Structure 1
Amino acid sequence: MFAKIRDTEIFFDVEGCSVVVENNRTYTKPTAFLIHGGPGADHTGYKPTFSALTRRLQLVYFDHRGQGRSKRGAKETYTLDNNVEDMEALRQYLGLDKIVVIGTSYGGMVGLSYAIRYPQNVSHLIIIVSTASYKFLERAKQILAERGTEAQNLIAQRLWDGNFENEEQLRDYFKILAPMYSLKHDPNTSVKVWDNKILSIDAINEAFGGFLRTYDVRDQLYKITAPTLVIGGRHDWICAPEFSEEIASCIKNADLRIFENSSHLIRADEPEALFDAINGFLVYKN
């Protein structure tokens, strides 16, 4: 499905009912926006793993402008600010009131920025393996230099420079770095996941070669008013756990969970524990 909003068209998909009839009782589930990472990837990284949340939430997946199935446009418009405003426009397009915001990695940066700008529209905020500032870049380079192979460091230079030349290079990046992203990396399955992904080199180049180098919302996190859960992975190389700790320390009464047996892809490394934490948070904070 496509929403014609602002100056673009955003692809979105909905999973799960909003209005539920159960045992002669009718009730409405909260709606959650799932914000994908990258930039340069798409929403399908959440599927089918996050379907488990439909027991409690209606899920809205979407692709950022210029990414996945969403409309391509001028690469200069592929900014975090536009991602935030597109998200708000999509909320209005769908006629929703407050939403649950779930953002992973870069999606967490969008989620934090959205909750800062539109606190009145967020019922709950869940930030997974993310960061509130550009400081993660130098730390990630340091960790990769310590833990990574020569091949991993070599192709990662394209990420740091924001100069992927084609989709195949970006696909190779994700395949070569796959063991760094998940402790349960399986070369027979994990690498093949990237064969059918819709990738956008313009989106990732604009981010890592541009605005992520100055991104910093640390001094605005106090504006977030929704109950907040911050989740990090102990072995995460690109959004190291200290950045999750920093986010939680700057948001009033935020809950912090560091998963001891996970890298960046907690949904692959500890999926059951992840959903237990999210479900428990949603129940406790309601």
Structure 2
Amino acid sequence: MKKIILVLLLIGLGISATAEEKMITTSDGVDLYVKIEGKGKPCLYIHGGPGSGSFWFEEFFGDFMEEHFTMIYLDQRGVGRSGSPKNGDYSLERMSLDFEEIRQELGYDSWLSIGHSFAGILQMGYFENYPKAQDGMMMINCTLFLEDSFCSSWGPKASEFLGETYVGCEKDSLSLMERISKLGDQLREKDLFWKMAYVEKENQAIMDATYQGFPNWNYDLGNNVFNFEEYWNKYLSATSDIDIPVLFFHGTKDWMVGPEHYKKVEFPNVLFWQYEGGHIPFQENREDLKKAILSYKTKYNFSI
């Protein structure tokens, strides 16, 4: 009896009594891990990486999000607790269809999305393929053009941390992916990679430790996604045609995407929010991110 009364009380207060975890099978036979928790307007978390999974965001920022939204945490195909496609289809069109099939399976007429980093490209592709599915997008340190983020910030800053000067993308003797790989390896060898995303070194170790509970983490997406040309498209140029409300949250020390990247974004209905911090605000800059999301929610009346 006490348990029933507690559940009824939680429902009366608008608080989710339990989380729901499930596997949703896509139309091409891929089992996707999905977790639903919280209250309020449904909001799909689209993780970056590519391949970082949804657990990071849930672990460090889920408590806040679930107070204000019904959160849908998804490990994308080829990532984390989800399966991989037998035909190797990681195209942006197929990824968008995954999001749409999950929305339909869960019975939502529409929803919000919140994305981090590489997820900006996924959000743009999703809108391009299903323009009525998202009522709004929250973009947290998102890139909308990979080449711009690398050439303007990633390459030069990584080289600076290594004590070198980057010659620039146009003069580089290596391809973009070869240069990214080489710089990444050098940063890791010298224990400097953390500087690209974090302000405090210990936070990377804390973040990395979250993976320890998942010994069979699926890395297939990250190993294959850049073989698809559409992920290299310049989605910055499409922002002026998207009129749904957008929160564009960007950091002054986010070297992964670039602190100047936001200046090339032209959403007509946008709330820009700059903060003093790096690439992982849901861990290092929680209060700034909370204020931005609450302002966005209030400004565009996303209460229900």
Give the TM-score normalised by the residue count of structure 1. 0.80
Q: Which residue of 1 aligns with 2:48?
A: 37
Q: Which residue of 1 aligns with 2:80?
A: 68
Q: Which residue of 2 aligns with 1:268?
A: 283
Q: Which residue of 2 aligns with 1:115?
A: 127
Inter-partner Cα distance in structure 1 for 2:102 and 2:66: 20
Q: Which residue of 1 aligns with 2:140?
A: 128
1:193 corresponds, among 201, 207, 210, to 210
Inter-partner Cα distance in structure 1 for 2:192 and 2:156: 18
Inter-partner Cα distance in structure 2 for 1:84 and 1:116: 9
Give the direction of change, closer, same or farther, for the CA distance of 1:99–1:130 in structure 2 (3 Å limit).
Answer: same
Per the alignment, in what secondary structure is the counterpart of residue 289 of structure 2?
helix
Cα deviation, 1:4-61, whole Å, max 9, x if unaligned, reads: 12212211001114xxxxxxxxxxx210000111112211011222321222111000
Identity %: 22
Inter-partner Cα distance in structure 2 for 1:277 and 1:104: 14
Per the alignment, in what secondary structure is the counterpart of residue 3 of structure 1?
strand
Give the TM-score normalised by the residue count of structure 2. 0.76
My pick for the range that moved more, 37-46 or 182-191, is 182-191
Q: Which residue of 2 aligns with 1:258?
A: 274
State the AA in 2 paired with 1:13. Answer: K
Q: Which runs of 5+ in 2 are unaligned?
A: 1-21, 165-173
Per the alignment, in what secondary structure is the counterpart of residue 189 of structure 1?
helix
Number of residue-to-residue matches in the alignment: 259
8 A Cα contact 2:157 2:255, kept in partner? yes
Matches within 5 A, 1:76-225: 76-134=88-146, 135-139=148-152, 140-148=154-162, 160-161=177-178, 177-186=193-202, 189-196=206-213, 199-208=217-226, 210-211=228-229, 214-225=232-243
Q: Which runs of 5+ in 1 are unaligned?
A: 18-28, 151-156
Q: Which residue of 2 aligns with 1:234?
A: 252
Inter-partner Cα distance in structure 2 for 1:95 and 1:205: 32
Q: Which residue of 2 aligns with 1:25?
A: none
Inter-partner Cα distance in structure 1 for 2:244 and 2:236: 16
Q: Which residue of 1 aligns with 2:296?
A: 281
Inter-partner Cα distance in structure 1 for 2:231 and 2:120: 16
Structure number with larger C-alpha Rg: 2
State the AA in 1 paired with 2:155. Answer: K
